[in-house]
Structure 1
């Protein structure tokens, strides 16, 4: 078993981390609360982050899951705007990768290059008010018409939605078809009958705008169907395979950054005439942070490796996602405790990291859903 990166991979990681830190420097004011700007998005495109795993013939880098995750880890570690990082990864793994795998060749060549450069922003439209974890409960419908489909319904939580140029949308096409009841569509923002909602306030990931969509007799041509009608469930699970591994590598980078901040802080901070490193309650908390991070790292790398080897990776992916989401949330809370009142203030970005970590136990399948997947894979 090999547990190290090649010299080339290590150099690329370090160069990427340096480029990210230069492009999106951490400031004394903490991460910005405003939504990302188009120039931020284009900069991510220039750095290659919006097309890491997209085939080269469509403008991407053509990397496998493991190498993609390694660079996403560098992005999460170096960029203090976790909302921007999340938005970029949702764009790539929940939208671009399904297009690369299932769209028609004409649609791929027309849409993917601009998605890789950052000229286009994509949003994943699946969540509804009554269909979060239960994606089988979708109520948005699509009915056949001449040359395409008519969509009606509402989506409630679309990350990147208010800024997006296109949406990967899932709709019910045959309620009686069981696991083949839904179909995936690419819907352009300019489509007649589509209304894009305003961004709503949320707890964390402040730089990434999120909002709802309304489809009212919205026409989508046959050429914008992904795969075949009824394959929506398969396509969604495919996107989750990318998202639950590679997207969460960004939080592995965040966990590393929090650990570095804690180590620097406890070496400098003194209380009762002694450095914080003299207090076992503090140092053991940091030991637990390191343990969580390294355990999650191995699980994530293994899940990505199994994906690249085209081996069954459902169990490894669920374990990885669960360990990383619960681990980074616990470590972010520990960081606030270690920094004390300073961690509660916004200047160091500690409290923002905690708020950004909370949704990891919710999106891409809640922690309870991951536990259910693990149990199913174990046959119980």
Structure 2
């Protein structure tokens, strides 16, 4: 594993001072599907949104691994899983692609807003009919001089109801395949663009989600992120960071869960002995530890390979698949070990199960990850 230096440890510990405030009322807010604007103000003040971005726009200029290390600490310290998800979403959806592919004008205008937390980001990829088949999207953007006219809809847009900036992927060439998609940065009040109402969901309820609708929505060509027809390159870059950033948060959540379970198993008496002394319980806890460490290693190892410029297609799929399944498995194990208490909402463990289910679906379903790995093995 990586030996973190004093500066990295100090940065993570410094941001941990905000975690208690981030966690406030997390059970109640989840029950009511409440996104807390007060918490978002604290998120902005904490500086966590500035981690991976260059100092010229107000960022902290941290590298990929350091950013992941701090975000792992966020997962360990903050019990509001929806807030954690909204944080990584706003970083990855707009900030990451604009810094890598945006024009100087886009960078100067929008990166300071994302970094300061003044603007919340979202990306619009999935469509009602397409699901995980991103290349089958129907939302189209037709060129009209110096503008594009967008028509279509998107669904499952995390941060949708609260976002100020949207990275929208649309077809600019009907038969172009991967070269027929373009990324557009769209402001929320653009004429012809409508954000749907929040959609009720199983977990991550404090991170609102909605549909988007485009009806002859006219976008200046200057709002293209990257080049026309280069949207798939933008999306590939974004999804790699989304997996690394959001699922390393899950590793932090698993670390906290393990500590909670170990403490409870040592204190909870059954038939005159701590339940930790029973092999059935101890084995569940050991499995939690193994899944935690396996997930952590795969994510950091994959990040190191990405930084080196290696092909990480298979590694990314494995890391995403393993971590999302481990997060779900360990959340269920925690409920089982806590017994009736684990089933009660006030302990927060049943919420973690509901949150964890989402990880097997977003960032490419686990079934898609299996297909991707099979393809890399030459099986399909």
Q: Structure 2: which 5+ runs fail to align?
A: none
The corresponding residue for 1:110 is: 109
The corresponding residue for 2:263 is: 264
Q: CA deviation at 1:146?
A: 2.6
Q: CA separation in 1, counterparts of 2:27 and 2:372?
A: 41
Q: CA separation in 2, counterparts of 1:294 and 1:270?
A: 28
Q: CA deviation at 1:27?
A: 6.1
Q: Structure 1: which 5+ runs fail to align?
A: none
Aligned in 2, Cα 1:310/1:285: closer, same or farther, shift over 3 Å?
same
Asked whether the 8 Å contact 1:94–1:242 carries over to 2, the reply is: no
The corresponding residue for 2:19 is: 21
Q: Say whether 1:211 aligns with 2:210.
A: yes
Q: CA separation in 2, counterparts of 1:285 and 1:345?
A: 20
Asked whether the 8 Å contact 1:128–1:156 carries over to 2, the reply is: yes
- Aligned 1:11-90 pairs, distance under 5 A: 11-17=10-16, 19-25=17-23, 32-33=30-31, 34-90=33-89
The corresponding residue for 2:345 is: 346
Q: CA separation in 1, counterparts of 2:60 and 2:377?
A: 36
The corresponding residue for 1:236 is: 235
Q: CA deviation at 1:186?
A: 0.6
Asked whether the 8 Å contact 1:64–1:308 carries over to 2, the reply is: no
Aligned in 2, Cα 1:378/1:20: closer, same or farther, shift over 3 Å?
farther
SS in 2 for 1:24: helix
Aligned in 2, Cα 1:353/1:118: closer, same or farther, shift over 3 Å?
same
Q: CA separation in 2, counterparts of 1:370 and 1:56?
A: 35
**More deviation, 231-240/34-43:** 34-43
Q: CA deviation at 1:99?
A: 1.0
The corresponding residue for 2:364 is: 365
The corresponding residue for 2:131 is: 132
Aligned in 2, Cα 1:299/1:129: closer, same or farther, shift over 3 Å?
same
Q: Say whether 1:198 aligns with 2:197.
A: yes
TM-score (norm 2): 0.96
Q: CA deviation at 1:126?
A: 1.0
Q: 1:248-286: per-residue Cα shift (whole Å, max 9, x none)?
A: 110001101110110111111111221111211001000
Aligned in 2, Cα 1:301/1:146: closer, same or farther, shift over 3 Å?
same
- Aligned 1:296-311 pairs, distance under 5 A: 296-311=295-310
SS in 2 for 1:176: coil
Q: CA separation in 2, counterparts of 1:48 and 1:26?
A: 19
Q: Say whether 1:165 aligns with 2:177.
A: no
Q: CA separation in 1, counterparts of 2:29 and 2:147?
A: 44
Aligned in 2, Cα 1:27/1:91: closer, same or farther, shift over 3 Å?
closer
Q: CA separation in 1, counterparts of 2:75 and 2:261?
A: 17
The corresponding residue for 2:186 is: 187
Q: CA separation in 1, counterparts of 2:144 and 2:352?
A: 47
Aligned in 2, Cα 1:377/1:56: closer, same or farther, shift over 3 Å?
farther
Q: CA separation in 2, counterparts of 1:29 and 1:225?
A: 40
Aligned in 2, Cα 1:31/1:303: closer, same or farther, shift over 3 Å?
farther
Asked whether the 8 Å contact 1:20–1:75 carries over to 2, the reply is: no
Q: Say whether 1:4 aligns with 2:27.
A: no
Q: CA deviation at 1:311?
A: 2.4
Q: CA RMSD in A?
A: 1.5
Q: How many residues align?
A: 378
Q: CA separation in 2, counterparts of 1:357 and 1:223?
A: 38
Q: 1:217-254: per-residue Cα shift (whole Å, max 9, x none)?
A: 00100110011111111111110110111221100011
**More deviation, 136-145/56-65:** 56-65
- Aligned 1:288-299 pairs, distance under 5 A: 288-299=287-298
Q: CA deviation at 1:31?
A: 5.9
Asked whether the 8 Å contact 2:76–2:255 carries over to 1, the reply is: yes
Q: CA separation in 2, counterparts of 1:352 and 1:30?
A: 11
Asked whether the 8 Å contact 1:161–1:196 carries over to 2, the reply is: yes
Q: CA separation in 1, counterparts of 2:121 and 2:19?
A: 25
Q: CA separation in 1, counterparts of 2:26 and 2:145?
A: 57
